[in-house]
Amino acid sequence: MPEAAQHVGSGKVRELYALDDERLLLVASDRISTFDVVLPTEIPDKGCVLTGLSAFWFTRTRDVCRNHLLGLRADGRSTECRRLEMLPIECVVRGYLTGSAWNDYRARGEVCGHALPPGLLESERLPEPIFTPATKAQTGHDENITRAQAAELVGAGRLDEVERVCLELYRFGSEHAAARGILLADTKFELGLDDEGRLVLADEALTPDSSRFWPADEYEPGRPQPSFDKQFVRDYCEALDWDKAPPGPELPDDVVAGTRARYLEAFERLTEIPFAAYVDDPRVVLS
Ligand code: PZK
């Protein structure tokens, strides 16, 4: 645990500490959630995989946008980062029609004010990636908002910049991933402003917890897609008579092992770095 660091926040599977006035420590646990419930069983190394992947992307998208990364701790799961003024919106980019976008499209033929062609199938690739901002719900689910609503929250000029940067980050990540057999269906970015008012990418980025990763070789529009990382967990939970209210079920060893293997596979495919090399020295993802 961080010595002399103040705990300032908890996510479902992560903790945030203040190191000083300018720096935070973001610690990714091995906890896993499914159907919005954190399970009592951990997936060993999951926090390291997500931390290393985020740092890998931060390093490779420097030219697209500044980011909050200051350094990785030797434990592989802790990121020292610059403290920012966070923007009050979730910055979602979607390349495929799934989740709330599929629901909105079926109900209204549009998603966050983006008119889409008729006749699209569930999980179909969109003609172009779209930026679909959402509110940050303190509890419950984030709610999709229009561009106009997002502009009221951050300003029209800033929103233009945020949209352009997020689309470029998604394009970079999705092209890199697709070339390695992983489809990045959609992803959520969190951005903030530094003390000079410059836009900075924060939080985790382009990880399986902030995105939907689909195995490209099983992709078939017209149905929901299997999750690259969590499908064993979902299948196991669906086969129980669990009502998806807390507490969630314990996972058996084979589901833990299979899920851990999928996280490590995502890390190694995307970074082209052996996970053992990352554990040995997390700085391998920074060059
Ligand atoms: C920040 N979160 C979400 C993540 C939690 C909460 N660089 C930053 N500067 C200021 N604030 C944040 C960040 C980042 N990243 C991130 N909330 C605030 C969050 C993980 C655990 F408890």
The set of residues, in sequence order, having a beta carbon less than 8 Å from that of 282 and lying 6+ positions away, is 48, 51, 52, 55, 72, 73, 74, 76
Which of 12, 16, 138, 194 to mutate to test ligand 1, by most ligand atoms within 8 A of the CB atom?
A: 16
Assess whether pLDDT exceeds 80 at residue 42.
yes
Condensed to tens digits (0 to 9), the pLDDT of residues 112-122 reads 999 999 999 99
Instruction: Name the pLDDT band for 140 (thresholds 50, 70, 90).
Output: confident
**What's the gap in Å between 231 CA and the centre of ligand 1?**
27
Ligand 1 within 6 A of 26 CB?
yes
Q: How far apart are CA 96 and CA 187, in angstroms?
A: 10
Condensed to tens digits (0 to 9), the pLDDT of residues 239-280 reads 999 999 999 999 999 999 999 999 999 999 999 999 999 999
The residue whose CA has the least distance to atom 15 of ligand 1 is 203
Which of 10, 50, 86 to mutate to test ligand 1, by most ligand atoms within 8 A of the CB atom?
A: 86
Q: How is the chain classified by DSSP, letter by letter?
A: --TTPEEEEE-SSEEEEE-SSSEEEEEE-S--EETTEE-SS--TTHHHHHHHHHHHHHHHTTTT-EE-EEEE-TTSSEEEEE--EE-SEEEEEEEE--HHHHHHHHHHSEETTEE--TTPPTTPEEEEEEE--EE--SSS---B--HHHHHHHH-HHHHHHHHHHHHHHHHHHHHHHHTTTEEEEEEEEEEEE-TT--EEEES--SSTTTEEEEEGGG--TTSPPPPTTTHHHHHHHHHTT--SPSSPPPPPHHHHHHHHHHHHHHHHHHH-S-HHHHHH-GGGGG-
Instruction: Name the pLDDT band for 168 (thresholds 50, 70, 90).
Output: very high
**What's the gap in Å between 85 CA and the centre of ligand 1?**
10
Predicted local confidence at residue 187, as pLDDT: 98
Ligand 1 within 6 A of 192 CB?
yes
Predicted local confidence at residue 2, as pLDDT: 67
Q: How far apart are CA 183 and CA 217, in angstroms?
A: 9
Condensed to tens digits (0 to 9), the pLDDT of residues 188-208 reads 999 999 999 999 999 999 999
**What's the gap in Å between 86 CA and the centre of ligand 1?**
8
Q: How far apart are CA 155 and CA 174, in angstroms?
A: 28
**What's the gap in Å between 24 CA and the centre of ligand 1?**
8
Ligand 1 atom closest to the CA of 26, numbered from 1: 20
**What's the gap in Å between 16 CA and the centre of ligand 1?**
6
Beta bridge partners of 69: 81
Predicted TM-score (pTM) of the model is 0.97
Angle among Cα 189, 22, 200 to the nearest 5 degrees reads: 25
Condensed to tens digits (0 to 9), the pLDDT of residues 87-110 reads 999 999 999 999 999 999 999 999
Predicted local confidence at residue 1, as pLDDT: 62
Nearest Cα residue to 168 out of 199, 197, 122, 136: 199
Which of 10, 21, 24 to mutate to test ligand 1, by most ligand atoms within 8 A of the CB atom?
A: 24
Ligand 1 within 6 A of 10 CB?
yes
* Pairing relationship of beta strands 199-202 and 66-67 according to DSSP bridges: parallel
Ligand 1 within 6 A of 202 CB?
yes
Assess whether pLDDT exceeds 80 at residue 68.
yes
For residues 152-180, average pLDDT:
98
Ligand 1 within 6 A of 188 CB?
no
